Amino acid sequence: MLLENKVAIITGAASQRGIGRATAACFAQHGARVVVLDLDPEAAQASALSCGEGHLGLAADVTDPLSIRRAVDQILAHYGRIDVLVNNAGITQPVKTLEIGLSDYNRILDVNLRGTLLMSQAVIPTMQQQQSGSIICLSSVSAQRGGGIFGGPHYSAAKAGVLGLTKAMAREFGPDQIRINALTPGLIQTDITGGLLQDERRHAIIDGIPLGRLGTASDVASAALFLASDLSGYLTGITLDVNGGMLIH
Ligand code: NAD
């Protein structure tokens, strides 16, 4: 049990085959009290229930400070502390630079990058009082290799922004014993591509992966478990690749 009695918030954890839901299930198995945040309250509750007894599912839009405040207040009223935040909520879009409209740019940046900042701002004061905490931010291999997997340049930019924000926050809040690290998954089999990734492209991607397969949500969940737990107690500001060797650098 690596997270016994820890309170762990995971954003965007309602999606059936998603990384967030797999992370919620994995953390619950390791003794955490999990809080699933997602846009739809019923889907969030169903996801929390699927983790077993004693977990919480709440509606929250990570782009909206008021919605986040409401959720965090409820979490503190219920559990009284916050030990782990996984900034997982994210959206993507497969377009090229000249096709990026302003509203596309805004929504991709808002969910992936602004959401990471706003959620972190909402939990850090509690972690400062506790003088402990672990925040895990979902970036992407797209940030490191300049896209070319599925998401467009605005997605790569947002996820590169997540890396910069993670490192800067790690430096700032290390003295409060808050560890802040990033995960950079390769192509993981979830519903984020909305069925738009063609088989031919998928096979071409697999050909470039030394481990010879796409990632699973539980591959990423296991890495998040490591960063959430005391096993990674002396790690902050790191970028942990979960990509099967797709990018070795
Ligand atoms: P997914 O589409 O399965 O799940 C994303 C979840 O985020 C959904 O439940 C959705 O409802 C939620 N969400 C969207 N906007 C939200 C908002 N404003 N507020 C709260 N929740 C919101 O996606 P996934 O593949 O599990 O991706 C999870 C994270 O991992 C994302 O940040 C994604 O960018 C990142 N990632 C995924 C891959 C991949 O190949 N799947 C690779 C690298 C990084």
Q: What is the pLDDT of residues 135-183, one digit of tens each?
A: 999 999 999 999 989 999 999 999 999 999 999 999 999 999 999 999 9
Q: Which runs of consecutive H residues, i.e. helices, occur in the chain?
A: 19-29, 41-49, 65-79, 102-109, 115-130, 141-145, 153-173, 199-207, 217-228
ipTM: 0.99
For residues 9 and 130, give the distance between their C-alpha atoms in angstroms, rounded to a whole number: 16
pTM of the shown model: 0.99
Average pLDDT (24-29) is 98
**What is residue 10's predicted lDDT score, i.e. its pLDDT?**
99
Q: How far is the CA of 182 from the centre of ligand 1 (A)?
A: 15
The preferred substitution site among 15, 113, 156, 196 for testing ligand 1, maximizing ligand atoms within 8 Å of CB, is 15
* CA nearest ligand 1 atom 35, residue: 138
The proportion of the chain whose per-residue pLDDT surpasses 90, expressed as a percent, equals 95
Query: How high does pLDDT run on average in the chain?
Result: 97
Q: How far is the CA of 91 from the centre of ligand 1 (A)?
A: 5
| Phi, psi of 163, rounded to the nearest 5 degrees | -65, -45
Does residue 79 have an active-site annotation? no
Q: Which residues pair with 181 in a beta bridge?
A: 136
Q: Any idea what DSSP says for residue 246?
A: S
Q: How far is the CA of 232 from the centre of ligand 1 (A)?
A: 24
**Single-letter amino acid, residue 169:** M
**What is residue 198's predicted lDDT score, i.e. its pLDDT?**
87
pLDDT at 215 over 90: yes
pLDDT at 188 over 90: yes
Residues with Cβ within 6 A of ligand 1?
11-12, 14-15, 18-20, 38-39, 60-63, 88-92, 111, 115, 138, 140, 185, 187-188, 190-192
| Phi, psi of 201, rounded to the nearest 5 degrees | -65, -40
7-242: CATH topology = Rossmann fold (3.40.50)
**What is residue 225's predicted lDDT score, i.e. its pLDDT?**
99
pLDDT at 199 over 90: no
Average pLDDT (24-41) is 98
Which residue has tokens 């909520």?
89
Q: Give me the residue spans of the domains in the chain.
A: 7-242
